[in-house]
Structure 1
Amino acid sequence: MIFHIVKRELYDHLSSLRFALTTLLILILMIVNAVAYLGEYKQQMNIYQKNIAATHNRLKRHSDTLYHLVLKGPGDLHKKPSPLAFCADGGKDLLFRHVRGGTASRTRRWEGENTSYRFTEIWRLVYPQASPDLIF
């Protein structure tokens, strides 16, 4: 019985002119938003490409051997801009734009009963706080 009521209500809503006009309006607004966002996306991609090129150049300069790359890390790892950000905008201020992969060349010490070792830390990922106002 409830199935028939739900089915009839859904059919009434789907066949109404209000639903068709709302769907058409949503599609038109999304297309206008996508066209307007295209310029901003191209600008974000240009900045991203420049950052990636700088990171690649830095890696080429500092990676004479695999040992140095393991110790120093890759540097900044940048986030690619989303091409679908026009659909859901507003959360990008809370997301990271880049992650730093590296080390401060800290020297650690490990001591056993009869032995003592000094070593440099291997790099790690450091996530910067995107918004200092947020407390997690």
Structure 2
Amino acid sequence: MEPIIQLTHQPLDRAALVEAVSHPSDGGIVVFEGIVRDNARGKQVHYLEYEVYEEMARQQIAQIIAEAQQRWQIEHVAVAHRFGRLEIGEASVIIVVATPHRSEAFDACRYIIDTLKNTVPIWKKEVATNGEAWVEG
């Protein structure tokens, strides 16, 4: 199955992503959902703005998924990241990994989110009570 990669301004749909990667051969599905919180580094956050270099981000996410597929032999995976303005409580990223066994799903999901945050050209600006600032992933 071809991995699902979504980069969108629209709200993310966790249920649709889970359904899209579910397969009868898989016994474990792990979902990571990153949510906009109301605080960061001692500041009260009002909202976040994400920017993305979409073409490069899509390529790099595909490479991260390919690496995860080789390490854990997973076939069913979805990565969705939202950009633009996001309010408190909204999902900024959802990763869904379905595998025959739970341990592979957990390991692959963690690898994908950690690598994505460190390498993919997606930038986050926090708008807080004391101003706004771009922050590293």
- Work out whether the TM-score is over 0.5: no
Q: Which has the higher strand share?
A: 2
TM-score (norm 1): 0.26
Q: Which has the higher helix share?
A: 1
- The structure whose Rg is larger is 1
